[in-house]
Amino acid sequence: MNSDELNKRINQINIENFIWIIYIGIIFMSWYSNFLEKKYFIYNDLNSKEKYRKIIIGIFVVLVVIYFYFFKSSYNDLKNLNLCDSNKKKNLTFIAMIASLLILISGILYLYIAISDEDINVEIAFN
């Protein structure tokens, strides 16, 4: 690995570390949104319902951005393959890109559900 590749990989790891911090925040926001959802169902508290929906929409907006970053990174890895790379590396890179695309699509679908389901009828918690 030359110095440019090493610097690029270290930069990617630093970005991934930042994303892990965002995920920790998402965990706490999800926990709080579950509290609000329960409060809505038990007490019919409409204020809690709206806060819950806004938090869930915010969470999925952030997740879609993160998922897009990983898809774009996987796509760039696929584009940057060399002819001399092994077939195994090419296949695994392609599979990783497809997996990132499917996760991105699922995030978009969950975001659509969060925005569209005003009555909180569909459970969208990372099933």
Nearest Cα neighbor of 72 from 36, 94, 97, 91 is: 97
Residue 17 lies inside a defined structural domain of this protein: yes
| Cβ-Cβ contacts under 8 Å for 78 (sequence gap 6 or more) | 93, 94, 97
Residues 26-43 pLDDT 10s: 999 999 999 999 999 999
- pLDDT band (50, 70, 90) for residue 5: confident
Annotate 23-55 with DSSP letters as a single string. HHHHHHHHHHHHHHHHHHHHH--HHHHHHHHHH
The confidence score (pLDDT) of residue 50 equals: 96
Q: What average pLDDT does this structure show over 78-96?
A: 96
| Cβ-Cβ contacts under 8 Å for 29 (sequence gap 6 or more) | 55, 58, 59
Residues 45-60 pLDDT 10s: 999 999 999 999 999 9
Mean residue pLDDT of the chain comes to 94
- For residues 57 and 114, the answer to whether their CB atoms sit within 8 Å is yes
Domain extent at residue 99: 3-116
Check whether 127 has a pLDDT greater than 60. no
- Tell me how many domains the chain contains: 1
- For residues 36 and 48, the answer to whether their CB atoms sit within 8 Å is yes
Torsion angle (degrees, nearest 10) of CA 27, 29, 32, 38: -90
Residues 7-22 pLDDT 10s: 989 999 999 999 999 9
Residue 125 lies inside a defined structural domain of this protein: no
